[in-house]
Chain A
Amino acid sequence: MTIDKNNLSKVKSQKSKVKLLTTLFRIIKYGFLGFWRNGWLSTATLSIIVLALLVFEGLMIFNVLTKTALEAIQNKIDISVYFKTNTPEDDILKIKKSLESLAEVKSVEYISRDKALEIFKERHKGEETIIQSLEELKDNPLLASLNIKAHDPKEYATIADYLEKANFKVWFEKVTYAQNAVAIERLSRIIDTAEKGGLALIIFLALIAVLVTFNTIRLAIYSTREEIGIMRLVGATNSFIRGPYVVEGIIYGLLAGILSVIIALPIIYFISPYVKIFIPEMNLWSYFTSNLFGILGYQLLFGVGLGVISSVIAVRKYLRV
């Protein structure tokens, strides 16, 4: 008897497994069928989602571009302290150490008089008159300097202040901050606004992309709301009705993700040289191709996530029959 019972429950659980699998298979089948048979509607919906995903992609690239550009600008800002010719090297190194101990300072580079001369010669290579006039001078006319970089452009004022008050000020020939203060301040303000504005822009455009996608899917489902009612009346459970729409959402997301990357490739290839003119540090094409799978992954995640969530929310409204 007990064996019989065991067998019976085994058969039962197998049956319910088969039932579950057939239901799953039917849901997936109807998802694909719905996508295929509503050809025009699916194409229209898909192209809108592709556009929305292109916006996402554009935002990702925009983010990388502004970051690189701002970093490049930040690297160009610095304060240089030039020392009088009679300053002993030991003292300069001591000052360097004390500057390095400041929290605001990112790096301090020491350029000796000899090195300064080397750099100068290198820079004016081929300009005969300058090299000649330099050789006429017996002494090296260039000054030793410390090149100071801060973590944050706003901190240059503090560093300049520190230098102004220091007791080793006697050795200073000149400090460039005094000359560049206005430019540095302005640059740091521009960097600040660019960062904040960029973030606001990203949030705004991302929100638009999400809403457009959601609305498009909602409209596509709205056009089949009567069918949802019919399915309810024939005795379909909510999950059986919802399932194919979720599958369609996944199909939209996957196709749109792949298409958006494929469409972006030639565009990126075309604009990459122009970007390089503005931001020499940025090779957009090589960045895009080397991060291709990461970008594709994000696009698929966005696409599928948006597709599924939009479908679920949109169908829910018509399931109340």
Chain B
Amino acid sequence: MLLLNKLITLFYEHRGRGAEFCSQSGCTTFALLGKIRMIIFQNVSKIYNGNGHQVVALEDVSFTINPKEFVSIVGKSGAGKSTIVKLLIGEERPTKGRIIFSSYDVNKLKKSELPQLRRHIGVIFQDFRLLPNKTAFENVAFALEVAGRLQSDIEELVPQALEMVGLKDKMFNFPRELSGGERQRVAIARAMINHPDLIVADEPTGNLDPINTLEIVKLLLKINELGTTVILATHNKEIVNYINRRVISLENGRIIRDEEKGKYILV
């Protein structure tokens, strides 16, 4: 409970940041909808061209996500979960369709505008993606540094964030000196340090044991309680059922179910 209180104070101190709406070129009237509906996928298809033959990763996918929602995207490997994440953070561009995040028309952003978008989204990956030559502290601090935050802010916020994920005494360890669960908690601290509007977790528990998995899921739920939208892509049935929130089920690149308070239903 102590943890939760700290979270709350930390978050509410820094609310209201990152609200530079409509200063980007991707801003259109359509994008204004993104203020009300945080994420809009509109008839999105993604086709990969592998040597000679085409691979359909997503086919005509449409959904919207409201602010403060907790959405699980489930499906087997290759169903298109990771593709949705990649499209959302601008790592890939859709073959067809439109993606709106907040005030950004994502696929219309220039390469040079992507960093702006990504500072509003915290991403957590299955393989952690920490910088191996930086300590836990520096990894978390990096997200603030790229946003141009002052050193004094960094020295104040980073220890708080690491304490929140229970890693205060391993602050100056390198990722190779941490366990899988600890690494993922560093990644979570990094994802939320900028107070993003959205946290996207792509199979965050894929490499973890059940105890660590539960801890990570609880952390994500707490982050969501504090007002941050969370998208969790996973194929772990137990955690989806444990969370008991909205579930979007994918199969072969199509949405087959989208239910409030959904369960992971095996096909």
Contacts and interface: CB of A to CB of B under 8 A. Distances in A.
A119 B147 CA distance: 84
Pick from A224, A232, A233 the residue with the most CB of B within 10 Å: A233
Contacts of A321: 91
B89 interface: yes
B186 interface: no
Interface string B94-131: 00000000000000000110111111000100000111
Interface string B143-160: 101111011000000000
Given A22-B151, A33-B133, A230-B129, A237 B91 contact: no
Contacts of B147: 235
A63 to B, nearest CB: 41
A34 B134 CA distance: 9
A97 B116 CA distance: 82
A121 interface: no
Given A233-B123, A238-B112, A227 B148 contact: no
A227 B131 CA distance: 6
A38 B133 contact: yes
A235 B115 contact: yes
Contacts of A240: 145-146
A286 B129 CA distance: 56
B132 interface: yes
B50 to A, nearest CB: 19
A72 interface: no
B185 interface: no
Interface string A203-239: 0000000000000000000001011001111111110
Pick from B134, B145, B150, B190 the residue with the most CB of A within 10 Å: B145
A234 B130 contact: no
A94 interface: no
Interface in A11-38: 18-19, 22-23, 26, 33-34, 37-38
Contacts of A320: 111
Contacts of A224: 133
B133 A237 contact: no
B129 A37 contact: no
B146 A230 contact: no
Contacts of B89: 233
Contacts of B11: none
Contact of A236 (B115, B123, B133, B194): B115
B112 A37 contact: no
A23 B148 contact: yes
Interface size class of B (residues with CB under 8 A): 20 to 34
A231 B150 contact: no
Nearest to A20: B148
Interface residues of A, number: 24
Contacts of A22: 148, 150-151
B228 to A, nearest CB: 16
A294 B5 CA distance: 65
Nearest to A16: B148
Contacts of B111: 238, 320
Given A230-B129, A230-B131, A237 B123 contact: no
A235 B146 contact: yes
A232 B146 CA distance: 10
Contacts of B123: 233-234
Contacts of B114: 232
Contacts of A26: 145
Contacts of A232: 114-115, 118
Contact of B146 (A37, A38, A231): A231
A278 B178 CA distance: 64
A216 to B, nearest CB: 19
Contacts of B133: 33-34, 37-38, 224, 227
Contacts of A234: 118, 123, 142-143, 146, 190
B129 to A, nearest CB: 5
Contacts of B119: 235
Given A19-B148, A23-B148, A321-B91, A231 B112 contact: no
A85 to B, nearest CB: 89
Contacts of A230: 129-131
A87 B243 CA distance: 121
Contacts of A236: 115, 142, 146
A231 B142 contact: yes
Given A230-B129, A235-B115, 16 more contacts: A18-B150, A22-B150, A26-B145, A226-B129, A231-B142, A232-B114, A233-B89, A233-B129, A234-B118, A234-B123, A235-B117, A235-B118, A235-B146, A235-B194, A237-B115, A240-B145
25 contacts: A22-B148, A22-B151, A33-B134, A37-B133, A226-B129, A227-B131, A227-B133, A230-B129, A231-B146, A232-B114, A233-B118, A233-B123, A233-B129, A234-B143, A234-B190, A235-B115, A235-B116, A235-B143, A235-B146, A236-B115, A236-B146, A238-B112, A240-B145, A240-B146, A321-B91
